[in-house]
Structure 1
Amino acid sequence: MQEVAHPLGASLWRGAKGHCPACGKGRLFWKYLKVNDRCECCEEDLSRYPADDGPAYTTILLTGHLIIVPLLFIPWVWRNPVHSVPLVMGGLVVSTLSVLPRIKGAWIGLMYALAVKSTDAHLHTADAAD
Structure 2
Amino acid sequence: MQEKSVPDSAGAIRRDARSTGERSVLTSLLRGARLTCPACGKGAMFRRYLKVADNCPACGEALHHHRADDAPPYFTIVIVGHIVVGLVLAVEMAYRPPLWLHAALWLPLTVLLALLILPPVKGALVGLQWALLMHGFDPNAEEEKIEPFDVGIHNGRGG
> Which band: TM-score by shorter chain?
0.7 to 0.9
Looking at structure 1, the residues matched to 91 and 104 of structure 2 have their Cα atoms a distance apart, in angstroms, of 17
1:96 matched to which residue of 2? 114
- For structure 1, the 5+ residue unaligned runs are 122-130
- Pairing 1:58–2:75 present: yes
- For structure 2, the 5+ residue unaligned runs are 1-21, 137-143, 147-159
Looking at structure 2, the residues matched to 8 and 111 of structure 1 have their Cα atoms a distance apart, in angstroms, of 9
**TM (normalized to structure 2)?**
0.66
Larger radius of gyration: 2
**Cα-Cα RMSD:** 2.2
Contact 2:28–2:130 (8 Å) recurs in 1: yes
- Pairing 1:39–2:56 present: yes
Distance apart, 1:6 and its partner CA: 1.0
2:33 matched to which residue of 1? 16
Looking at structure 1, the residues matched to 81 and 24 of structure 2 have their Cα atoms a distance apart, in angstroms, of 30
Contact 1:71–1:77 (8 Å) recurs in 2: no
Structure 2 counterpart of 1:90, one-letter code: P
Looking at structure 1, the residues matched to 94 and 127 of structure 2 have their Cα atoms a distance apart, in angstroms, of 37
Contact 2:84–2:106 (8 Å) recurs in 1: no
Structure holding more helix per residue: 1
Number of residues paired by the alignment? Answer: 117
Looking at structure 1, the residues matched to 106 and 84 of structure 2 have their Cα atoms a distance apart, in angstroms, of 11
Instruction: Give CA-to-partner distance per residue, 1:69-114, whole Å, 9 cap, x none.
Output: 4422432698322332122210111011101101000000100010
